[in-house]
Structure 1
């Protein structure tokens, strides 16, 4: 899979992953992603007045009987002109919607594949000095009938010069690759991207970035494992020693208590022995 690439010298192509830019678009998923994006743009603050909020007298409109008309009280109900609205929005609705990470990535891949023929890769826009006139000339030379199109500029990182150059041009929208969404991709007629932005998208949507973060050298892993095992063994030995010391000390304390009980008689026992000796002496007398 190849994309158009434009440089100051000549036009060429840039080879990209077909998994990201050459997939058959999933139209229901694209529709869902656009619906979620537009729903998240809503504030949800619209509110109407109920009959209790209307600034109108609560006096009975006309008498109960004798007019031939239906019975009515105040003129604030929803059936009268100028009355309140029933079951209307109250300004408390939450319009936020969410897509799972896999759905977001799949929808981005579908949008990029659908717009692959309209993507133009170039790094020349980094030469802009921040003037709007320079940006107008640059994009008119880069894209035919640029003023009649919607152009989306995708940068790999924030660049103040490019942002200043394009911020006052109504048909150009500048964004970063980290903020790219399906709605902006589908709305654009031409998409101008940097080479680094293309590579970042490929890494993000294929999961290579996560794999690189998770991968570690084998030597480091083995060293970490051995250190952990040794530390666990040392902890076990220390715990066993402490438990053994506790049990021996407890046994010694129990033995001392038993010895003390056997050697030192209580007061009651002493009194009994004294009484017995007194009785024996009386009998002998």
Structure 2
């Protein structure tokens, strides 16, 4: 009899427990309204894939907030890690200065021009006889010795001031300038360059709200920007757009605030890390050639 009761208890109690739980669950389900599940939030930290160019000291990696640009109020979208070999290098001010002078002079052409004695008008005949007058011998009054004559060894236009810095000094200048911009809190990273309107007032309020500098340089990976941001910045002379392959030291220093997209950061890191770790560094360090790429 006891065995029968134990067996019946073991059979009936689980069944009773299951029915009770099911009925309670159904009641709660009927009483609770349906709630929409929110979309998953973006990751707080976006680590970079540096498998090929892993930094020696990972603790030096910088983390920067990713900001939005689709609205004037600032909103943090996540964190992104920056490679220390690109954004945390030695701030070589001397290398930055050499790059600035190089950029200013390689596009400068002097048009100062003077005429030689052959180009000055007049002076075709001999001013006086060679001998017999007790005067020094001369063949033309347009000689550099005469007033109104030609100029000896004067400037001749066009004169170019083009020269090339060593290749890796140019690479070092880019990394040093990016590191200085980040250290001075003048580097901001945004998710994209899509703005909701083409009104220039939107960018004015955005710069004022974000406390960006008087002049802003926005860099994206592609050289074709969306239509809205082109119209919005066209009327603002202090806001310029630039693709990442054209990023240079002179433009970064000319603008107070540097704004990079996430894609631009990845492209800049990829290109600079490749140049700093390339195997044919000896060939790139040679004398500059016009067909050098």
Common fold by TM > 0.5: yes
TM-score, normalised on structure 1? 0.60
RMSD in angstroms over aligned alpha carbons?
Answer: 3.3
Is residue 101 of structure 2 the alignment partner of residue 35 of structure 1? yes
Matching residue within 191, 198, 216 for 2:258: 191
Change (3 A) 1:98 1:67: same
Summarize the alignment of residues 104-253 of structure 1 with structure 2, pairs less than 5 Å apart: 104-116=170-182, 117-123=185-191, 125-127=193-195, 129-144=197-212, 146=213, 149-158=214-223, 159-161=225-227, 162-207=229-274
Change (3 A) 1:68 1:141: farther
After superposition, the C-alpha distances for 1:222-275 in whole angstroms (9 at most, x for unaligned) are xxxxxxxxxxxxxxxxxxxxxxxxxxxxxxxxxxxxxxxxxxxxxxxxxxxxxx
Summarize the alignment of residues 5-24 of structure 1 with structure 2, pairs less than 5 Å apart: 5-7=66-68, 8=71, 9-11=74-76, 13-24=79-90
C-alpha contact 1:4 1:121 (8 A) present in aligned 2: yes
- Unmatched segments (≥5 aa) in structure 1: 212-285
Change (3 A) 1:69 1:3: farther
C-alpha contact 1:152 1:174 (8 A) present in aligned 2: yes
Task: Give the Å deviation of 1:199.
Answer: 1.4
C-alpha contact 1:128 1:135 (8 A) present in aligned 2: no
Change (3 A) 1:46 1:175: farther
Q: Count residues in correspondence.
A: 208
Change (3 A) 1:4 1:63: farther
Task: Give the Å deviation of 1:195.
Answer: 1.5
Is residue 120 of structure 2 the alignment partner of residue 54 of structure 1? yes
Query: Separation in 1 of the partners of 2:266 and 2:172?
Result: 17
Change (3 A) 1:16 1:97: same
Counterpart position of 2:63: 2
> SS at the partner of 1:126?
coil
Query: Separation in 1 of the partners of 2:131 and 2:187?
Result: 77
C-alpha contact 2:66 2:191 (8 A) present in aligned 1: no
Change (3 A) 1:78 1:189: farther
Task: Give the Å deviation of 1:44.
Answer: 5.2
- Unmatched segments (≥5 aa) in structure 2: 1-61, 279-293
Select between 30-39 and 178-187 the one with higher mean Cα deviation.
30-39
- Whose helix fraction is larger, Structure 1's or Structure 2's? 1
TM-score, normalised on structure 2? 0.59
C-alpha contact 2:171 2:276 (8 A) present in aligned 1: no
